[in-house]
Amino acid sequence: MNSVKKIGKVLLSLSGVVAIWWLFALSDAVNPQLFPTPLAVWEAALELHQEGLLYSDLNVSLERAAIGFFTGSLLGIVIGLLTAQTRFFRFALNPFLTLLRPIPAIALVPVAIVWFGIGEPSKYFVISYTVFLAVWLNTHHGMEHIATTYLRAARSLGASRTREFFEVVIPAAAPHIVAGLRMGAALAFLALVAAELTGSSSGIGFRLQEARQFIRTDRMFVGLIELGILGALLDFIFVTMSRKIVHWEHL
Amino acid sequence: MSDLQKSNSNLQAVGCVEIDDLSIRFASPQGREVVAVETTDLRLEPGSFTALIGPSGCGKSTILNAIAGFVSPSSGSICVDGKAVTGPDPEVGVVFQQYALFPWFTAIGNVKFALKRFRLGREELQRQAHEALKEVGLGDRASAYPGQLSGGMKQRVALARTFASKPKVLLMDEPFGALDAQTRISMHELLLRIWDAHRTTVLFVTHDVDEALLLSDRVFVMSEGPGRIIDSFEVQSDRPRVVDQVDEHFVANRNRITKLLRQSHADSI
Ligand SMILES: Nc1ncnc2c1ncn2[C@@H]1O[C@H](COP(=O)(O)OP(=O)(O)OP(=O)(O)O)[C@@H](O)[C@H]1O
Ligand SMILES: [Mg+2]
């Protein structure tokens, strides 16, 4: 009952947006060539589908994002555990990573192309690097700020270092790690598009860039909507998953 | 020596805490040295219930944390059953004011965490954990997460967890400070019942005079700036003690402590 209501609300607000969009596109305020109607965008989507590009672009982009995301988060979690747990790593890596953090993903694209060429590896690099930074920072932060009473309780209850790590440190840091993964997933999309806009011959980002050359704003809108839907879906999946994983945070 | 005396002297060896010339200093953020505890001697008799009372900031928690092995002494020594304290040890259990239950484990999961050091079989682990929860009256809430329990219930789980690891010494730092008056009274009864059954040596930190006198055999009074023990005495009142039916010892002791605390407060300002 409740979820039916929710879906109803979402549909209502979406159709409102589409209606306003439509009215705006038809008004004299904008050139229809530059600002397509929802119908034109729908037709462009069908066209892309018939050309077999809609699905293949989606596939290519998702694969890049997924590979980059998994590599980046794995590295981020492992390095985060190391930098937070061992004084040596904290000392050696922290200043270095603090400097790397502000560098936007887009700025890395030219470097990645020189290093890895315009093939897949350069995309993986840009995406996984961006994801890595977010996940690493959150993991590190989460591990560093574990309430001392948890550690004290664990030790005075006779837990070994191994048990302390797996049964106290990891769960205590889990909410931060999960938040980092969620942020990483959103950033993976950002980095994906940045990497695809230049030096690529497939994917949603490339299709956007290609449409620019032909001033096909309707095709561009297809790409933008795809990105919007994908991002929202992904975030929904992450929120649902995090409710399962760190269920005690939501009591 | 009679048999009775012999078994008594065996008992005497368990849960004895001796503190000699203890002092604890911290570096303040400005780099100055803060003396939290100044040369203190303290002895907890095996199986006894001792209260440590004093104004806020006088170093009660610091002494307790030192016995627990969480902070190390700047000088002097702390021994539990003749062995110097070098770090946290399951022989010395701690009950924290903020419960410190692991929110990712259920009530029974928290108790099992403490039992794991005994390397029991699965069934025995489950049985003992359940037994411990039943002892604090929470047998039916075994699978609840701490986030689903009230403050009093949480502290009962924490008690069950700490007793499950079978400590010889139990340190409690204002364990009932966050609870309302009614809950506090039932927690006192529960604590005394479990203490009676396990006969652990208890050190109970509080700044509530009545709480100290209701629970303990012996009271240590501290003053601040720097923290030191200024008085200690036996509580003679008969058990069980009830807060609305106190005897003349109780009243005398209450006056004695209140006066001491007021004086030391007046001295420090
Ligand atoms: N880790 C620390 N670093 C620096 N100073 C500390 C530290 N721990 C305690 N102190 C200082 O030591 C003194 C005693 O603190 P302590 O926590 O033992 O007091 P307390 O008697 O438990 O007070 P309360 O009743 O408020 O809990 C205080 O002045 C406090 O600021
Ligand atoms: Mg304290």
pLDDT digit string, tens, across residues B172-183: 999 998 889 899
Please give the residue range of the domain that contains residue B59: 3-91+167-268
Q: Which two tokens stand for residue B213?
A: 């006198």
Nearest of B33, B36, B32, B78 to residue B54 by alpha carbon = B36
Whether B91 has a pLDDT exceeding 80, the answer reads: yes
SS3 (DSSP) at A110: helix
Q: Tell me: the pLDDT tens digits for A96-140?
A: 777 888 888 888 888 998 898 888 899 999 999 999 999 998 999
How many angstroms separate the CA atoms of B96 and B155, rounded?
9
CATH number of the domain that residue B202 is part of:
3.40.50.300
The position carrying tokens 């293949």 is A56
> Could B145 and A168 be called an inter-chain contact, meaning their C-beta atoms sit closer than 8 Å?
no
Give the residue on B whose Cα is nearest the Cα of A149. B100
Whether B264 has a pLDDT exceeding 80, the answer reads: no
Residue numbers in A near B104 (CB within 8 A) = 171-172, 174, 246, 248
Q: Which two tokens stand for residue B146?
A: 């701490």
Q: Which atom of ligand 1 is nearest to the CA of B222?
A: 21
Q: How many CB atoms lie within 10 A of CB A86?
A: 12
pLDDT of residue A1: 60
Nearest of B142, B179, B168, B171 to residue B157 by alpha carbon = B142
Q: Quick one: what percent of chain A has pLDDT higher than 70?
A: 100
> Could B94 and A155 be called an inter-chain contact, meaning their C-beta atoms sit closer than 8 Å?
no
pLDDT of residue A47: 92
For the segment B116-136, the average pLDDT, to the nearest whole number, is: 94
Residue B113 forms part of a structural domain? no
Report ipTM (2 d.p.).
0.89
Whether B268 has a pLDDT exceeding 70, the answer reads: no
Residue numbers in A near B105 (CB within 8 A) = 167
pLDDT of residue B102: 97
Residue B110 forms part of a structural domain? no
> Could A174 and B104 be called an inter-chain contact, meaning their C-beta atoms sit closer than 8 Å?
yes
DSSP class per residue in A188-200: HHHHHHHHHHSS-
User: Of the ligands numbered here, which is closest to the C-alpha atom of B268?
Assistant: 1
Number of domains in chain B: 1
How many angstroms separate the CA atoms of A221 and A147, rounded?
48
B138 touches B107 (CB < 8 A): yes
For the segment A77-96, the average pLDDT, to the nearest whole number, is: 82
Interface contacts A/B by beta carbons within 8 Å: 66
Q: Tell me: the pLDDT tens digits for B45-66?
A: 999 999 999 988 899 999 999 9
pLDDT of residue A94: 74
How many angstroms separate the CA atoms of A236 and A224, rounded?
18
Among the partner-chain residues A157, A167, A171, the one whose CB lies closest to the CB of B165 is: A157
pLDDT of residue B1: 41
Q: Which two tokens stand for residue B132?
A: 């411990």
> Could A158 and B92 be called an inter-chain contact, meaning their C-beta atoms sit closer than 8 Å?
no
Residue B260 forms part of a structural domain? yes
How many angstroms separate the CA atoms of A104 and A194, rounded?
10
pLDDT tier at B243, thresholds 50, 70, 90 = confident
How many angstroms separate the CA atoms of A159 and A245, rounded?
23
Give the residue on B whose Cα is nearest the Cα of A173. B104
Structural domain boundaries in chain A? 1-30, 36-250
How many angstroms separate the CA atoms of B75 and B184, rounded?
36
Residue B184 forms part of a structural domain? yes
Give the residue on B whose Cα is nearest the Cα of A160. B117
pLDDT of residue B13: 52
Whether A204 has a pLDDT exceeding 70, the answer reads: yes
What pTM does this model have? 0.85
pLDDT of residue B2: 43
Specify the CATH class of A36-250 in words. mainly alpha
